[in-house]
């Protein structure tokens, strides 16, 4: 039995009481809205067959999969030659399962396996951890939660609108106002690539455009020229991309190609969004936005905080072919993902967590002797029955020790039971912050919390 000082694997975290309470607060608001919008929950196992995971995230993704050693005498299926061929080859002989890398591939697997029972459109949400053997750094962990909602089997533009409203409702519930939902459409990016003569290099072109914020216009232009872009068109396209006026922008794109799906869908999208203008939706068209272009095929989303320097806190988009990787074509859909860790960081920085949620308890009962402790046992149960987070110091020890504990767990109130309190039925209630105290009956105490 090892008695060495225990530690955590690198890139993983414990969440103690305060952090857990704050994380739960965010998750519950997200979940509540997912449910309100008609999404139902899916949970998939942490372990998937490697045949399900491998090849779905590119070569780099394959490297980052956590592989699980087969149980028992795992070498029995391997030969010395397998060993000599090295790690990559051997692992196919000694490992059949891996940890889930995201929630999308397990979702696709679920849809394929249950395609005959699922009613389409199918709206599912999934809030679970994922694992990646990435190099840990500030803000990047090897275990982290994803909070995804997807609608599959429907192409109507209302879905794009609905998910935008969902962002809004979640952030509204979190009292997080400093954000902007950025929107773009892959077909517009491809049109622009075509326009500058880079039809065959649309992905590298958009990857350059995506850097606009970071490296500036001049460098982007240089890079696009280096890709072979048409120098007579590039400035026109850059002017367009940085246009702030949405209508002007869409009209210009339309003037390049008025049958472009991206323009048509975005016009429909913004027109529908306009029905909800009294909600002050924070939505912005940003042609430089280019995320997940190998996966998304239509509109793309990214949510960014506006007053805190940080990358995107949510993302998403429409895809044509969720389940093609498993041989089932034609399942299109749209999905979004909330980045729990980053939302947490933004809310923490902006002080948006209500104080109450990190209160482990609302009132702690203290006592002077065994008799008072006994009495406290029924008091604490009365308070809990009234829905109050109440606790009782569980042993008859010196009151000073109990007060020290009350301070440590930062209870806002203490209820003190002495012999007088027992006979009068009026208990001393101490506000632990102000130090004020006064006698109160149980009914009054319940009112104090519930009133």
Contact letters for a copy of itself, residues 124-153 (x by CB under 8 A)? x----x-x-x--------xx-------x--
Stretch that binds a copy of itself, among 180-188, 255-263, 309-317, 391-399 (CB under 8 A): 391-399
Nearer to a copy of itself, 75 or 256 (CB): 75
Residue 175 backbone class (left: φ over 0; alpha: ψ -120 to 50; beta: rest): left
> What contacts 377, CB < 8 A, 6 or more positions away?
392
CB of 356 to a copy of itself, least distance (A): 12
225 binds a copy of itself, rule: CB under 8 A: no
- Rounded CA separation 345/348 (Å): 5
Token output for 433:
């912050």
Instruction: Name residues contacting a copy of itself, limited to 325-364 (CB under 8 A).
Output: 325-327, 360-361
Nearer to a copy of itself, 47 or 256 (CB): 47
Binding-site member from 72, 116, 137, 138 for a copy of itself (CB under 8 A) = 72
Nearer to a copy of itself, 171 or 195 (CB): 171
Binding-site member from 306, 307, 369, 378 for a copy of itself (CB under 8 A) = 378
- 């399942």: which residue's tokens? 331
Q: How many CB atoms lie within 10 A of CB 143?
A: 14
69 binds a copy of itself, rule: CB under 8 A: yes
Say if residues 44 and 128 touch (Cβ distance below 8 Å).
yes
422 binds a copy of itself, rule: CB under 8 A: no
116 binds a copy of itself, rule: CB under 8 A: no
274 binds a copy of itself, rule: CB under 8 A: no
Binding-site member from 25, 26, 29, 52 for a copy of itself (CB under 8 A) = 52
97 binds a copy of itself, rule: CB under 8 A: yes
> What contacts 44, CB < 8 A, 6 or more positions away?
100, 103, 106, 107, 109, 110, 126, 128
* b/e per residue 357-387 (b: at least 16 CB within 10 A): eebebbbbbbbbeeebbebbeebbeebeeee
CB of 165 to a copy of itself, least distance (A): 7
With H, G, I as helix, E, B as strand and everything else as coil, classify residue 364: strand
- Rounded CA separation 51/145 (Å): 23
Nearer to a copy of itself, 70 or 312 (CB): 70
379 binds a copy of itself, rule: CB under 8 A: no
Binding-site member from 272, 282, 292, 442 for a copy of itself (CB under 8 A) = 272
Instruction: Name residues contacting a copy of itself, limited to 25-44 (CB under 8 A).
Output: 35-38, 40-44
CB of 321 to a copy of itself, least distance (A): 12
175 binds a copy of itself, rule: CB under 8 A: no
Say if residues 127 and 339 touch (Cβ distance below 8 Å).
no
199 binds a copy of itself, rule: CB under 8 A: no
Binding-site member from 75, 264, 267, 446 for a copy of itself (CB under 8 A) = 75
Q: Where are the alpha helices (DSSP H) in 153-287?
A: 158-173, 186-195, 202-209, 212-226, 231-241, 246-256, 261-273
CB of 351 to a copy of itself, least distance (A): 21
Say if residues 40 and 125 touch (Cβ distance below 8 Å).
yes
């Amino acid at each position: 039995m090892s008695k060495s000082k225990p530690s955590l694997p690198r890139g993983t975290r414990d969440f103690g009481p305060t952090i857990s309470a704050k994380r739960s607060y965010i998750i519950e608001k997200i979940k509540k809205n997912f449910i309100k919008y008609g999404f139902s929950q899916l949970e998939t196992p942490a372990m998937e067959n490697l045949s399900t995971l491998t090849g779905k995230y590119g070569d780099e993704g394959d490297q980052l999969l956590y592989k699980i050693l087969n149980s028992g005498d795992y070498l029995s299926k391997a030969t010395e030659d397998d060993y000599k061929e090295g790690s990559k080859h051997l692992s196919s002989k000694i490992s059949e399962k891996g940890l889930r890398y995201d929630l999308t591939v397990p979702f696709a697997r679920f849809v394929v396996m249950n395609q005959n029972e699922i009613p389409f459109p199918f709206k599912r949400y999934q809030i679970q951890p994922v694992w990646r053997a990435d190099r840990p750094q500030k803000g990047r962990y090897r275990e982290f939660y994803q909070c995804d909602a997807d609608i599959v089997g429907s192409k109507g533009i209302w879905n794009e609108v609905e998910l935008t409203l969902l962002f809004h409702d979640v952030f509204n519930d979190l009292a997080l106002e400093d954000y902007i939902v950025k929107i773009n459409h892959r077909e517009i990016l491809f049109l622009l690539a075509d326009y500058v003569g880079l039809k065959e290099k649309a992905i590298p072109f958009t990857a350059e455009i995506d850097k606009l914020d970071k490296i500036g216009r001049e460098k982007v232009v240089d890079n696009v020229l280096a890709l072979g872009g048409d120098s007579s068109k590039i400035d026109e396209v850059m002017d367009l991309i940085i246009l702030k006026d949405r209508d002007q922008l869409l009209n210009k794109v339309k003037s390049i190609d008025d049958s472009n799906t991206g323009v048509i869908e975005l016009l429909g999208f913004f027109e529908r969004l306009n029905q909800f203008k009294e909600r002050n939706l924070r939505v912005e068209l940003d042609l430089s936005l280019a995320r997940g272009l190998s996966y998304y095929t239509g509109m793309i989303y990214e949510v960014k905080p506006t007053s805190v320097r940080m990358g995107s806190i949510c993302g998403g988009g429409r895809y044509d072919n969720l389940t093609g990787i498993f041989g089932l074509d034609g399942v299109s859909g749209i999905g979004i993902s909330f980045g729990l860790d980053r939302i947490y960081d933004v809310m923490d920085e902006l002080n948006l967590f209500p104080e109450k949620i990190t209160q482990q308890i609302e009132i702690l009962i203290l006592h002077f002797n065994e008799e008072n402790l006994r009495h406290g046992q029924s008091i604490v149960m009365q308070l809990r029955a009234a829905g109050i987070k109440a606790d009782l110091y569980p042993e008859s020890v010196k009151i000073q020790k109990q007060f020290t504990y009350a301070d440590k767990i930062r209870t806002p109130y203490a209820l003190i039971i002495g012999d007088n309190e027992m006979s009068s039925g009026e208990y001393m209630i101490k506000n632990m912050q102000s130090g004020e105290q006064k006698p109160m009956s149980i009914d009054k105490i319940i009112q104090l919390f519930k009133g």
